[in-house]
Structure 1
């Protein structure tokens, strides 16, 4: 139990400082929080060795930074693999309608975008969306209605008016 009390004291005295330092180093509070939590978990697993270091706090900070960098590397590798796979697949022609729809979807709030895509593009029912999103049916209906209105407003913008044959067509 002495080890637990000693570690708790170390954690209490240093965690916020290490989090602030890592956040400053990597620029993302969420990623810093994840990396610092992992580093302290590893420190606890090795507390007998870590406490003997010249600076246990420096050990935790170094491990947290390495955890964050490792996460970035994994993300970059996944992206590179995805790009290689996508580069080998034929690309369908992109229409003006497609570009307008994607742009309009990007302009609406994320939760509205999610339900609109799940309902209209994936074909899920409102109940299925509620289950997948972990929310209730009325919330899904509200987001779907608001999302449709927002999309309609963005798609009706003059920016998406296409001229063809002398008259404008809405996308």
Structure 2
């Protein structure tokens, strides 16, 4: 496949947004400390259009300011890109908000990343294409655009496998080159090229006018901009994640205390030695009855009368009779 050199922004208001550099808010973000951490020393890097930057010589941005700058710079475009992947505005917003919540939770890691916008974009794509969303009833109902042409293009995108759809959006929608698309989709470059070709063929088979990649790119941008898509405010995203983190932290502490208390109670009340259980009584069968003494014979009666007739201290008891 012939690869063209395209320099399209990634994270501006359009689907094609791609900054030439990482926003200064993320570049100057803290990399250590609690989530988000302490800001490092040094001046922030150059910021592209639309990304706020700290003035030269001023103090670096705080973690919240850096996160808010990255969110304001990338969230609108990511919602439009996620819409191309899902076809549902609400699901696209949820995916982007979840991705930024994870970014705020792991802000030291994101701040150290060479491309924070790419980190958030990859996470948002994973959340948008997650199969767990299909179990939510409101995500099962499609929400097609009103324009017939956009509706046909969205239907063609939804017929693609998730990996093919992601590759097509990254290459023809966002404007990444083939190696970057392969790295973000965790596939080899030949496999990514094959996915891209098959995705284009599938879309062109349903919409022949989109056989030209330039026209396909223009239609993808128009489809992403057609819907009125908006993301929540960055403070809301940060607050939700902080509340969730506190809830799970307290739940983990309460669960640990419960386990420790139950273990302590068991150790104090459990027996220290083994006592064999007493088996219940039962009737014994097959034992013969005890025999009673029968009547005495004539010899035994004579002997008993002789013993009773003699004295207890007679000579027969002192000297044995030889007879």
State the TM-score, normalizing by the size of structure 1: 0.40
Which has the larger Rg?
Answer: 2
State the TM-score, normalizing by the size of structure 2: 0.22
Q: Larger helix proportion, structure 1 or 2?
A: 1
